[in-house]
């Protein structure tokens, strides 16, 4: 998981410097990073990244996209696993 986290964080930095934080690409990397934490059992941190991802999509008015639906699905899985 450490290698995955490193790669996702590198992608975030690249998107941040080229497209800014307010982009679908940045948002999707946050969502993917949340999966890394979910799979490690760190549900609080995983949910935090999903919330950040969804907030960006809401700001972009992209709540009717498949990416937003996938993010909602990922958050639902986090809720199931933490119970």
CA distance 29 to 38: 14
> What pLDDT score does 33 carry?
97
Phi, psi of 19 (to 5 degrees): -115, -15
* Percentage, residues of the chain above pLDDT 70: 100
Half-sphere exposure for 52 (CA within 13 Å, toward CB): 20
pTM comes to 0.93
What mean pLDDT is predicted for residues 43-70? 97
> How many whole angstroms from its chain centre is CA 45?
10
Phi, psi of 63 (to 5 degrees): -80, 0
Pull the structure tokens for residue 23. 């982009």
Q: What is the DSSP string of 22-41?
A: SSHHHHHHHHHHHHHHHHTT
> Is 83's pLDDT higher than 90?
no
Tens digit of pLDDT for each residue in 3-26?
Answer: 999 999 999 999 999 999 999 999
What mean pLDDT is predicted for residues 57-73? 97
């Amino acid at each position: 998981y450490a290698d995955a986290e490193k790669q996702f964080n590198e992608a975030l930095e690249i998107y941040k410097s080229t497209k800014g934080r307010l982009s679908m690409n940045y948002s999707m990397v946050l969502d993917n990073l949340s999966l890394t934490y979910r799979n490690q059992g760190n549900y609080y941190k995983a949910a935090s990244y999903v919330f950040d991802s969804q907030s960006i999509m809401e700001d972009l008015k992209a709540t009717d996209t498949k990416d937003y639906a996938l993010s909602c699905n990922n958050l639902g899985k986090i809720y199931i696993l933490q119970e």
